[in-house]
Amino acid sequence: MYFEIYKDSRGYFRWRFISSNGRIIADSAEGYASKEGALNGINIIKSYSYNAPIRG
């Protein structure tokens, strides 16, 4: 599994999390003006998701 950063059609940076079979598991809900912004979004997900509660 890995994160991928790419530019969308409007030139904004976005990220997506891809599984070992190539399917997209998650993606950014917004575009970022800089690659650093996208990296920051990935780091936030990585740092907070390990203990996120499950609802439903």
Mean pLDDT of 1-13: 97
Cβ-based neighbour number of residue 12 at 10 Å: 16
Asked if the structure places residue 55 within a domain, the reply is no
pLDDT at 50: 83
Structural element, H or E, at residue 2: strand 2-7
Mean pLDDT of 2-15: 97
Rounded CA separation 25/47 (Å): 17
**Domains held by the chain: number:** 1
pLDDT at 26: 95
CATH number at residue 24: 3.30.160.160
| pTM greater than 0.95 | no
pLDDT at 24: 97
Asked if the structure places residue 56 within a domain, the reply is no
- CB distance 32 to 12 below 8 Å: yes
- Specify the amino acid at residue 35: K
Domain membership of residue 7 as a residue range: 2-50
Q: Chain-centre distance of CA 33, in angstroms? A: 14
The tens digit of pLDDT for each residue in 11-55 reads 999 999 999 999 999 999 999 999 999 999 999 999 988 888 889
